[in-house]
Structure 1
Amino acid sequence: MSARNAPLGAGFRMLWAASTISTIGDGVTLAAGPMLVASITRDPAAVALAAFALQVPWLLFGLISGVYVDRFDRRRLVAGVNLVRAAALGLLSGAAALDAVTLPLVYAVFFTLGTADTLADNASSALLPALVAPDRLAEANARLSLTFNIGNQFLSKPLGAWLFALWVGAPFGTDALTFLVAAALVATLRPAKVPTAKPTPTPRPRLRTDLTTGIRWLARQRVLRTISIAMGLGNVAFCGAFSIFVLYVHRRLGLTDLGYGLLLTTFAVGGTLGTLSVRRLRRRFGATSLLRAGLFVEALTHLVLAASTHAWIVAVTLVVFGVHTMVWGSLAATLYQQRVPDELRGRVGSVRILCDLGGAAIGTLLGALVAGLAGLTMPFWIAGAAMLVVAVCAWRPLGEASAASETRQAPCTPLRADNTC
């Protein structure tokens, strides 16, 4: 059996299983959470605040979490955070059993889950290169993305609604159970790369020093810096346009809520196709061509949606866009995992995630403002034009992406004796 066709390894299978189980649980909670809040209050602001409670920890703690991902054993960190998630969801399910659910409790639980995400998501991504050979990272990332598409987008949403209808606490109890199982699976991981000798203990760097180290390192890396900026600006454009997508579908395309729901599934369809084809596309075209083309796909997606009034054209466009997002995301994640030194993966990853979420938050605010002032299609026109500029500016820096993707990771040199390699 060739190395390319060999199994990805027992460690990856454990991480993949843990990710699959927790992803389904996450989707169940994301589907049932708004319904829980709506059963307590009909205030739209109160419902939106629950989603905000999940998102705001990334802005508050994203960079700090990256420091601790690099300071501590990532396997134990993920397992421990999953136990905290299970406890928080178990508390919410127990409160539902006692008919004692309140809005402050829901917000506190969701804030806890969002804070846990800043650690677990970053640590899981940083842990992957210790389990998978460098030339198999793209395939491993694609499998994790496929799991997310199928589990979080297709399976968990109707499951969450069904469980909520069965009993209000059932979705959150189910999610708590998934995190317990995921914690047990992650705890069994044995990373393949271990230091041959115990490093000499050194004084712990100051928090500020650790924070700036990751930022400075990323700023010196042309390809990764370009990808981070492009992803951040891409999220500004995307969220600016799609923040009013439901209104666009109703008013411009003339579709009902059912039609809106069906259009949303086109993202998942395209994403699934993308994750299934990323390995083949990468082998045929290379990382540089796919990353460059992807930025133009984003620009054309916004421009087609701005010009079209036909639902079927929009649906086909969104399928293509879904393919692009998964291919681009898998390639970007792989480049980070291959190029970033192990002892910096948490901090550099936190900067990348902050660019993504910061761009999304800015885009959401700007899109709503522009649509209110200039009409529903103007955010799409602006997004398309902006992404054309991004694609042109990123063209030359991304020329190094294929060469970077072949670079092997240097041996691990942990900052602390308890750091995972």
Structure 2
Amino acid sequence: MSRLVDTVAPPRLGVPFRWLLASSWVSNVGDGIALAAGPLLVASLTSDARLVALGATLQWLPPLLFGLLAGALADRWDRRRIVLVVNVARAVVLATLAVAVAGGHATVGLVLGLLLLLGTAEVFADNAAQTFLPMLVARDDLAVANARLQTGFITLNQLAGPPVGAALFAAGAAWPAAGQALIVSAAAVLVARIVLPPHRPDPAVRQHLGRDIVEGVRWVRHHAAVRTLVLTIFTFNITFGAAWSVLVLYATQRLGLGAVGFGLLTTVSAVGGLAGTAAYGWITRRVSLGNLMRIGLVVETLTHLGLALTRQPAVALGIFFVFGAHAFVWGTTSVTVRQRAVPRALQGRVGAVNTVGVFGGLVLGSGLGGVLAEQHGVTAPFWFAFAGSALFVVLIWRQLRHVAHADEREAPLPEG
């Protein structure tokens, strides 16, 4: 058992990293359950594609509204305490949702409102939590540490969680929320074991919160590699959000899959992610970061085209496998690039700028996806995603060369 633990979390990464890894993996179980159960719950209450897409929008909107504030607070306050307090709040909201569903009082409006509260809480917890890793492990170990965290995300959030969430929903609509409430509570207990080094600024030199936020935005604007990554993820998440916001309808209406089959799509994507995990070291030794990003964007563009064309579940599952491998490689590379480049004092704010890019794209895309699906059918968002992605690949192709310089030493704080 000790040898297995040392393999998963090498001793050089330290005991605090092991607690972080455990809390991350536990949280990913709950998030994976919600990944399938959330859309199924909304779809069980309405067949309106716009409302189904709105469920995704309300989970993606809070990071856009509160992301920059969350980043500034993470650079000011005790980051561990933020995660603990917010996770307790999330557990209360989830328990409330479970009681409402079990008692037959869940309406579309209530469920959407609680999803909005959960999304808001997660903004502050996730932004603070993502700053832990650069404080706990050496810079040269960030890639391997991120790979371990991503492995948990793939196996538990995407591989194990969605089928469990779909199965729990099939057994009873209240079970997924109840289970997630317990899991979030367990993750909070694990976070409480982590000891972070001092990271709060000197109160004597603390500036206005607005200036803190501007400082983070300015840093991103002047750093070519991180700026390119933020722009790319924003644009591609518009197209991704349009398609994935109605994925539950695509799976049931276009592919003829049931609740468990819908969860299986994410599971197969996670298996592809594991393949990407296994090949990641080999790939990065042979392909430059700039070319790796270019290949990934082409893969994602063709993913949307393939899903728009097919009606066959087997073909769709194959596409999801390839997409899963791409998503792991892209995600691990981009987060490592950012963590290596950003000064510790700016990790929260720069991470927040990236988060705003991520969810800003998802919010815009999900709104478009719901309208397109309602007016032109469930494949329309996938055609839009293909066309938009293809156009952006052409426009951003040369700019991705900036990523090749992302391994430079930590950039300085901005002046002024």
Length-normalised TM-score, structure 1: 0.81
Equivalent residues of 1:146, 1:276 under 8 A apart: no
Q: Comparing 306-315 with 86-95, which one deviates more in the overlay?
A: 306-315
Give the number of equivalent residue pairs: 404
Kindly tell me: are residues 161 and 328 of structure 1, through their superposed partners in 2, closer, same or farther at Cα, counting changes over 3 Å?
A: closer
Q: Give the % identical residues.
A: 41
Kindly tell me: are residues 307 and 35 of structure 1, through their superposed partners in 2, closer, same or farther at Cα, counting changes over 3 Å?
A: closer
Residue number in structure 2 paired with 1:68: 73
Equivalent residues of 1:134, 1:409 under 8 A apart: no
Residue number in structure 2 paired with 1:223: 225
Residue number in structure 2 paired with 1:360: 362
Q: Distance in 2 between matches of 1:278 and 1:298?
A: 17
| Structure 2 residue matching 1:71: 3-state secondary structure | coil
Residue number in structure 2 paired with 1:416: none
Q: Distance in 1 between matches of 2:340 and 2:358?
A: 20
Q: Comparing 133-142 with 312-321, which one deviates more in the overlay?
A: 312-321
Q: Distance in 1 between matches of 2:378 and 2:40?
A: 28
Q: Which of 88, 95, 111 pairs up with 2:93?
A: 88
Equivalent residues of 2:159, 2:271 under 8 A apart: no
Deviation at 1:156, TM superposition (A): 2.6
Deviation at 1:275, TM superposition (A): 2.9
Q: Which of 123, 127, 130 pairs up with 2:128?
A: 123
Q: Over residues 117-145 of structure 1, what are the superposed CA-to-partner deviations in whole Å (9 max), with x where a residue is unaligned? A: 10111111111111122222222222222
Deviation at 1:177, TM superposition (A): 2.3
Q: Distance in 2 between matches of 1:95 and 1:262?
A: 27
Q: Distance in 1 between matches of 2:292 and 2:350?
A: 23
Equivalent residues of 1:304, 1:317 under 8 A apart: yes
Structural mapping, 1:218-257, within 5 Å: 218-243=220-245, 255-257=255-257
Consecutive unaligned residues of structure 1, counting only runs of 5 or more, are 414-421
Residue number in structure 1 paired with 2:301: 299
Kindly tell me: are residues 135 and 14 of structure 1, through their superposed partners in 2, closer, same or farther at Cα, counting changes over 3 Å?
A: same
Residue number in structure 2 paired with 1:342: 344
Residue number in structure 1 paired with 2:3: none
Q: Distance in 1 between matches of 2:71 and 2:235?
A: 22
Q: Distance in 2 between matches of 1:249 and 1:170?
A: 22
Q: Which of 13, 17, 21 pairs up with 1:16?
A: 21
Amino acid aligned to 1:188: R
Deviation at 1:17, TM superposition (A): 0.7
Equivalent residues of 1:274, 1:323 under 8 A apart: yes
Q: Comparing 377-386 with 76-85, which one deviates more in the overlay?
A: 377-386
Q: Over residues 150-189 of structure 1, what are the superposed CA-to-partner deviations in whole Å (9 max), with x where a residue is unaligned? A: 2122323343355456666544333222222211211221
Task: Give the superposed CA RMSD.
Answer: 3.6
Matched, 1:186 2:180: no
Amino acid aligned to 1:123: A
Kindly tell me: are residues 372 and 322 of structure 1, through their superposed partners in 2, closer, same or farther at Cα, counting changes over 3 Å?
A: same
Residue number in structure 1 paired with 2:327: 325
Q: Comparing 132-141 with 359-368, which one deviates more in the overlay?
A: 359-368
Q: Comparing 149-158 with 401-410, which one deviates more in the overlay?
A: 401-410
Kindly tell me: are residues 142 and 296 of structure 1, through their superposed partners in 2, closer, same or farther at Cα, counting changes over 3 Å?
A: same
Q: Comparing 87-96 with 271-280, which one deviates more in the overlay?
A: 87-96
Matched, 1:79 2:74: no
Kindly tell me: are residues 303 and 404 of structure 1, through their superposed partners in 2, closer, same or farther at Cα, counting changes over 3 Å?
A: same
Deviation at 1:230, TM superposition (A): 0.9
Matched, 1:407 2:409: yes
Q: Which of 105, 111, 115 pairs up with 2:116?
A: 111
Q: Distance in 2 between matches of 1:358 and 1:86?
A: 26
Q: Which has the larger radius of gyration?
A: 1
Q: Distance in 2 between matches of 1:250 and 1:181?
A: 33
